[in-house]
Amino acid sequence: MPTTDSCTIDVGAFDIAATLRCGRALRETARTAPSLEDAAQRIVRLLYDSCVDPDTGQRSCALVRFYKTHAYDDLDPSLQAFTLRQLGGERPAPFMKSLVLLGTAGDAPAWNDRRRSRDHQVIPLASEEMILRAPMIARLFEQFGVEPAEVLAPADDVLPEREGRTYNVFHVEAASGSPYIPEQRAFVERNGIASVVGFGGTLRSGNLFATILFSRTRIPPESANRFRALAVDVKAGLFFLDESRTFAVS
């Protein structure tokens, strides 16, 4: 059962008052974290606990995840090895970006530890063709309003244009049968996923972050659009964190 009372979200009817409460909670929980990974884990845990079905009192989301783009050379050795396996052993350019899973909270025990993800610890973004072959990622960038070239280029090359941006919302109202949500039988059907919503922005470095919620409650467009405001609060909470301390010290 959820344990939060200061930030409760009815994803099917997300109103302004709830947006303000949850934005403040996200901002506060992120800004005191010792690393970006700790902040990401706090963010997904707060959202996982806060999204509650008002009729049943149960959590609405089966899974909440936080990703950040990260250059290959800056990954730790275990994530570099994971990336190489994803690329079939082909060593990428040092600045090649990947979406790196930094925070995860969900119903299954394995969904609460980024290291236990079999396929999604790192999602390499080696080329525009690779992005387009991953329908959910391609759609996320498209709906965010991010051109693949922005993601593929070194952050320093596009930082003036990207710094401070927040993005539109990624939204799949009907997840069942959607070409944008993979693993239909093993994930969508098995876990009763009705809708998916994501929000994000850029950090001071120009790297992108994205938070994605997989909900058992159907999320209409008017509720999905409210999540865009949360991106501002998450970005504010992350603003003073040192990106050189991306990963938590174990």
Asked whether the predicted pLDDT for residue 158 surpasses 60, the reply is: no
Helix and strand numbers (H, E) in the chain are 8, 6
Return the pLDDT at 3.
Answer: 44
Question: How far is it, in rounded angstroms, from Cα 203 to Cα 165?
Answer: 9
CA angle in degrees (0–180, nearest 5) for 102-106-107: 155
Q: 227-243: per-residue pLDDT in tens?
A: 999 999 999 999 888 87
Return the pLDDT at 6.
Answer: 63
Residue with tokens 């959820």: 2
Token pair of 250 as six digits: 């174990």
pTM here?
0.93
Residue 200, strand partner residues: 210
Beta strand ranges found along the chain (DSSP E): 61-71, 97-106, 122-125, 170-172, 195-202, 208-215
Whether the CB-CB separation of 97 and 151 falls below 8 Å is answered with yes
Nearest to 83 by CA among 120, 115, 112: 120
Asked whether the predicted pLDDT for residue 4 surpasses 90, the reply is: no
Q: Could you tell me what percentage of the chain is helix, strand and coil, using 3-state DSSP and rounding each to the nearest 5? A: 40, 20, 40
Q: 33-49: per-residue pLDDT in tens?
A: 999 999 999 999 999 99
**Residue 69 in 3-state DSSP?**
strand
Q: 48-99: per-residue pLDDT in tens?
A: 999 999 999 999 999 999 999 999 999 999 999 999 999 999 899 999 999 9
Asked whether the predicted pLDDT for residue 110 surpasses 70, the reply is: yes
| pLDDT: which is higher, 45 or 5 | 45
**Residue 52 in 3-state DSSP?**
strand
Instruction: Give mean pLDDT, residues 20-38.
Output: 95
- The CATH class for the domain spanning 20-66+101-115+127-240 reads alpha beta
Asked whether the predicted pLDDT for residue 160 surpasses 60, the reply is: no
